[in-house]
Amino acid sequence: MKQKVLAAAAFALVAGMQAAPVMAQSSVTIYGLIDTGLVGESGGSGGHVTKLTSGISGGSRIGFKGNEDLGGGMSALFLLESGFQNDTGALGQGGLLFGRQSYVGLNGGFGTVTAGRQYTPQYLVLTMVDPFGTGYAGDAANLMPNTGNGASRMDNTVKYASPVIGGVSGELAYGFGETAGSTAASSQLGGAIGYNNGPLNVRLGVHVRNNDTTTTQTGTGRSTLLGAVYNFGPFKLHAAYGVNKGLNSSPLRNTVNPYGTSAIAASTNSTDMLIGVTVPVGAQHTLLASYIRKDDKTTANQDASQIAAGYRYALSKRTDLYAMYAHISNKNGAPYTVGSSIEAGSGNSAWNLGIRHTF
């Protein structure tokens, strides 16, 4: 009897050891954002446009993210995020199933390594410093570059994000060009380093894209952006300065392909300056404002400036209403238009009235 009990206990122990890896702690979260509103655009060649559109503040989306505890302080993680237009039901990002983000990776004391379609480090700096979060009519990307093969995102990318040490953290990302006969052609490289502690958040981001193909040698484009946000309590002050040099260093969004280059040549040598504020008023009200200046240093001298103002009203922690307005002053035929998170816009002025819900 005693031998049978010991045998049963040993069997249970072995079975438990074999099952342990399968029973590793894991979780999957479903999340999303739905944004819809009225948009009025003016100043374009086609005249005034009024429309109901999706993704004004940020692209409407549904996402799946998860992680698995691998033991020893290491975990596996993934994220799949699909963009869509909830006013029509169409997929966003040109019809890609997971066009917003799609990656898998490992996390541990060393930091995080991920592979797939991901945001560029330079774009994340722009989103951090823009009072409008690169959305609404006041989107800083109306004038400032958010470079990448999908503007804000890189395909075929391996990214490393460091752990935060004393408020300091960094990112490094490389996007494979996957061009036959050349490892450099169509490749991209991005990086960022920053300090976030207490009221101060400051970050420097760089993005370099190689525009060469197997048939055309056109060189590189480089965008560098330094941004800072300081929380004074009653309000947040936002400031940024950027330098852009080379082809596609400051690509234009357009109505045909908001994430590519325009038929009208964008500046290949320019600087950008942003100053803005975020003013919370009680628990429900938020005022936003910014001024952006693009200084075109090419012979065309196509300077531009944007003023933007907005208001958000929080109905709850997950739902808010908003009203936004922006106007761009173009010089010497500069082609910049007022868009929003996912649209380029058709003119140099636009207003938004909408609702945003997260889940």
- Which stretches in the chain have pLDDT values below 50? 1-23, 149, 255-263
User: pLDDT digits over 9-28, tens only?
Assistant: 443 433 444 444 444 679 99
Summary mean pLDDT of the chain: 90
User: pLDDT digits over 288-330, tens only?
Assistant: 999 999 999 999 999 999 999 999 999 999 999 999 999 999 9
pTM, full prediction: 0.90
Largest CA distance in the chain: 97
pLDDT score for 146: 78
Question: For residues 326 and 343, what is the distance between their CA atoms, to the nearest angstrom?
Answer: 14
CB 209 within 8 Å of CB 218: no
Helices (H), 56-177: 121-129
